[in-house]
Structure 1
Amino acid sequence: MSQDTPAPVTVQILDKDYRVSCGPDERQGLLESARILDERMRQVRQNGRVLGADRIAVMAALNLIYELMQERDVQAETASRLKGLQERVSHAVSGDSGSSSS
């Protein structure tokens, strides 16, 4: 078997086993993702307002996606601010290098 050949990995979410095929380089990410999803689904279930594994999964997924979208927005804002700062520094440096007082 080649090292790039997908292999089945068993993950456990809400005490249920799921077999997922993934490449060796994706295994750790899959296991971590499953752990996070299991944790989030348990939190939703503990809140007691949502019944049924399907609904718990949907609520957990919605919460995770919402958090990812917020993080994406923060990263976009940070990138925009960084670009603005870089432009200001570039203008300041080019302006200073053109004017010499002797």
Structure 2
Amino acid sequence: MKQIEVQILQQSYLLSCPEGHESRLLEAVERVDTAMTRIRDAGKVRSRERIAVLAALNLAFDIADREAADLAAERAQPAGHAHTIGSTSQPSDASTDDQQLQALVRRLDDALGEDGRLL
């Protein structure tokens, strides 16, 4: 495991990351930082913890919307294009995003410790 220091909402966090996945972690950090910055800059919420929870919820809703759109697109496919059992297709981007989001929240919880648990 490699450790990477990142900044989210101008606060440093030391996060563990599997070798070779650094760019994916940095992309996730950028998404979270952007989401939290938008909420903070809107001026209605000041607590870092509340900003983090709202950002996580917004990201989760985005993922749920993508999953719903993917499911609708799959259902709209003609019967001849349906996936077969044993198909080697890759998992949807939405489920990968959901897994990444959950892993990031766990990492942030670990970094914040017991007193700053996000969820």
Normalising to structure 2: TM-score of the pair?
Answer: 0.65
Greater share of residues in helix: 1
Letter of the structure 1 residue corresponding to residue 34 of structure 2: E
| Deviation, structure 1 residue 26 | 1.4
Secondary structure of the structure 2 residue equivalent to 1:74: helix
Mapped partners of 1:29, 1:66: distance in 2: 20
Q: Which runs of 5+ in 1 are unaligned?
A: 1-5, 89-102
CA RMSD of aligned residues (A): 1.3
SS of 1:61's partner is helix
Q: What does residue range 54-69 of structure 1 map to in structure 2 within 5 Å?
A: 54-69=49-64
Gaps of 5+ in 2: 82-119
Matched, 1:86 2:84: no
**Structure-1 separation of matches of 2:65 and 2:53:** 18
Q: 1:47 — aligned with what?
A: 42
1:28 paired residue number: 23
Residues 70-94 of structure 1: CA deviation (Å, up to 9, x unaligned)? 0000001101111xx1349xxxxxx
Using the alignment, how far apart are the partners of 1:31 and 1:59 within structure 2?
A: 20
1:60 to partner: Cα distance: 0.6
Pick one of 69, 72, 81 that aligns with 1:77: 72
Q: Match for residue 16 of structure 1?
A: 11
**Post-superposition, which runs of at least 4 consecutive aligned residues in structure 1 deviate over 6 A?**
none
